[in-house]
A and B are shown apart, each in its own frame.
Chain A
Amino acid sequence: MKAWGLLAVIIAATVIADLLQSHEMKRHGEIHDFRPSGLRKVLSKLAGKRNLILAVACMAVSFFAFMALLQVADLSFAVPASAGSLVIETVLARIVLKEHVDSRRWIGAALVACGVWLLAL
């Protein structure tokens, strides 16, 4: 029961973090410069973004819950089960981020979700 409670916390925090992160990174635009100086510039620019700070906070919550989950459940359960967020995120990517999700992606995401469900049995 403790494991499922921790899992619910992980999924909720992950969904919020991913949506915020994707939204902010899209606003920033594609990163071209991967030299240390370029990366420093990008990181210092991103460090002040409120959505990314919130995303990192949600990731921290998710991470500490994940650490606790790893002590009470198998790795081969904990990681796949936490992917329960995937279906919710694909739906929200379409609704909130207005991404175009074609039928191939829907089918692929559905297969992944079914696989994740089987892994968690």
Chain B
Amino acid sequence: MNPRLRWKTRAFAAIVIFSNAFGNLSLTWGLRYGAGELTASPLSFVRAIFSPWVSLGICLLIAWMMSRMFLLSWADLSYVLPVTAFGYVLNALLGRLFLGENVTPARWAGTLLIMAGVVLVGLGNPHTGDST
């Protein structure tokens, strides 16, 4: 793989990871502290969507979706999925730091396993070219 494509892949993977983690944080914050309780009524979802933090979260998640679509146009799904899984680690961290969630030792152990998996996959080639 040429260096340009490698850097483009890394940049888009970073955008995918961060837009997803901060989008989820903003969404959770908004749903807990400003949007009111969600019920079976679609109106409660519509009301929540237009509250400021939830709106910001949705914008970031749209950025996540678009950057992920672009990334998938040249990188394999089986590469994109594990590499962007680092976002799960970031979500756990943000939950602990900003939402005061109790992240148990088992969850932190899971975080380390995910990081090991991400490093392993990230060393490979994102585009396998020939499908078998």
Contact = CB atoms under 8 A, between A and B. Distances in A.
A75 B117 contact: no
Interface string A106-121: 0111111111111111
A82 to B, nearest CB: 9
Contact of A116 (B27, B88, B102): B88
Given A30-B73, A76-B107, A99 B118 contact: no
Given A26-B72, A115-B113, A115-B114, A75 B94 contact: yes
Interface centre among A30, A79, A94 (most CB of B within 10 A): A79
Contacts of B117: 107-115
Nearest to A43: B66
A97 interface: yes
Given A76-B96, A121-B106, A86 B82 contact: yes
Contacts of B130: 100
B82 A75 contact: no
Contact of A97 (B65, B69, B77, B118): B77
A64 interface: yes
A71 B112 contact: no
Contacts of A89: 77-78, 81
Interface centre among A80, A101, A112, A120 (most CB of B within 10 A): A112
Interface in A59-117: 59, 63-64, 67-68, 70-71, 74-76, 79-80, 83, 86, 89-90, 93-94, 97-102, 104-105, 107-117
A1 interface: no
A109 B110 CA distance: 13
A16 to B, nearest CB: 13
B47 to A, nearest CB: 12
Contact of A118 (B27, B65, B107): B107
B50 interface: no
A104 B117 CA distance: 9
